[in-house]
Amino acid sequence: MSATTSTTGAGAPGLDAPAGQTRSIWVLSWLHLKYQFLETVRVPIAVLGNVLFPSLAMFFFVVPQESVAGNPLYATIAVAGLGLFAVCSASLFTYGLGVAEDRQLPFYPFLRTLPAGPGPQMVARVLNGGIFSLFGLLPLILIGWLFTAATLTAGQLLAGIGTILAVSVPFVLLGMAIGYKLSAKAALPVVQVILFPLAFAGGLFMPPQMFPAWLDAISKATPTRAGRDLLVQATTGMDAYALALPVLAGWTLLFAVLAILAYRSDEGRRFR
């Protein structure tokens, strides 16, 4: 798949090309990824804010509990759960709020009129979400290594990183759907209302084994519980429940559809 680039791209460095030349969606996605990444890291608090809460939660609620911090299995599960929360937080806040704020910038309507289409922007946002998800994991891994008995082999670490990158995709897509559908003022409370109930119901703060039967059944239908159990399986070897992968795949498909519909709805409102 390819997209013809603009021959009048004076306002879009890196997107202009000689007449008739085409660039693949992956080249255009790389350019969007580069500029989105630089735009985010130029505001360090936007990065630090997403990693601070999970790290503080690890320090204050896991490390002091010797029964958890001193047990290799429980400590590893705690790191995995808070790591997934960091991913959810980064994805929903960065893209739910970030996309909504981008839509208010004067340059954004011009960007939307370029002939490359929405594909490269969306691919870049998903990849950027994976990168910042890894940033959120680094302090948690360091705290777990220094202050708890959590242990991972090299294979488990690689499997965990791969799993959490895959699990981040539906939450990036959900964030994009919120960002394209709502204004910045509306997106912030909506993200907060969605994030914390999903985190609690998904067992990111409390082991699902402590849930009553009715809550456990609801929990297994959430993307956070599915992602959490798949991540725990990758890092500890404990089997996830049988429907974890289909549940996560189903939510990913649903959020992808919502993101596309929200993008097209925004396009219809602003570019008729």
**Span between the terminal Cα atoms of the chain, in Å:** 26
Task: Output the CA angle 28-30-32, nearest 5 degrees.
Answer: 70
> CB count, 10 Å around CB of 119?
15
Task: Output the CA angle 9-15-17, nearest 5 degrees.
Answer: 75
Q: What is the pTM of this model?
A: 0.80
Query: What is d(CA 223, CA 19) in angstroms, rounded to the nearest whole number?
Result: 45
- Chain centroid offset of residue 126 CA: 7
Residue 38 host element (H or E): helix 25-41
Query: What is d(CA 210, CA 81) in angstroms, rounded to the nearest whole number?
Result: 15
Query: What is d(CA 123, CA 119) in angstroms, rounded to the nearest whole number?
Result: 6
Tens of each residue's pLDDT in the chain, 272 residues: 434 444 334 444 444 444 333 457 788 888 888 888 887 777 776 677 667 778 888 888 888 888 888 999 999 999 999 989 988 888 888 778 778 877 887 777 777 777 767 778 778 877 877 787 777 788 888 888 889 998 888 899 899 888 988 898 899 889 989 998 988 889 889 998 999 999 999 999 888 988 999 999 999 999 999 999 999 999 998 999 999 999 999 999 999 999 889 988 876 666 55
Question: Which DSSP letter does residue 116 get?
Answer: T
Numbers of helices and strands, H then E, in the chain: 12, 2
